[in-house]
Amino acid sequence: MIPQPTPANTTCEFCNSPGGAVLWQDDLCRVVRVDEPDYPGFCRVILKRHAREMSDLDDTEREGLMRVVFALENAVRSAMHPHKMNLASLGNMTPHVHWHVIPRFEDDRHYPGPIWAVPKRDANVPEPRRAAAAKIVANLLETLGAK
């Protein structure tokens, strides 16, 4: 089934702004870099049309979106070799389907807690980690192709 266009929600942040620097996109979704200095490599996959829950998508959309989420996980891992990957679709603040894809390191600000928990330590991001994050976009293009 071909997803039908959905009118943008006029009050929705992700209907009205890209939500970060766009690294890749197709008709279904975009991958953006999250502006979070403590977490280089933190990206989001944002569905283009307005939908609230993953279970509101049809199978084609859901499979297409998850293909991008997992390709992004792979691209981040190849670029940064994190200790662990974290994936989450929450949307309590912005109820428009999006996925957080976050590389985690044992010395990061919240490890082993989720990044939304109380910090365990001050942020102290090694410079090579920021440099490595810059490789994500090339890895992603290699897997998903240019659009």
CB 42 within 8 A of CB 36: yes
74 belongs to the binding site for a second copy (CB under 8 A): yes
Contact stretch for a second copy (CB under 8 A) within 7-15, 21-29, 47-55, 124-132: 47-55
Choosing from 9, 50, 70, 135, the residue that interacts with a second copy (CB under 8 A) is 70
89 belongs to the binding site for a second copy (CB under 8 A): yes
CB of 36 to a second copy, least distance (A): 15
90 belongs to the binding site for a second copy (CB under 8 A): yes
Strands 98-104 and 43-47: antiparallel
126 belongs to the binding site for a second copy (CB under 8 A): no
CB 45 within 8 A of CB 28: no
Nearby residues of 57 by Cβ (< 8 Å), 6 or more positions away: 3, 47, 51, 65, 97
88 belongs to the binding site for a second copy (CB under 8 A): yes
CB 59 within 8 A of CB 111: no
119 belongs to the binding site for a second copy (CB under 8 A): no
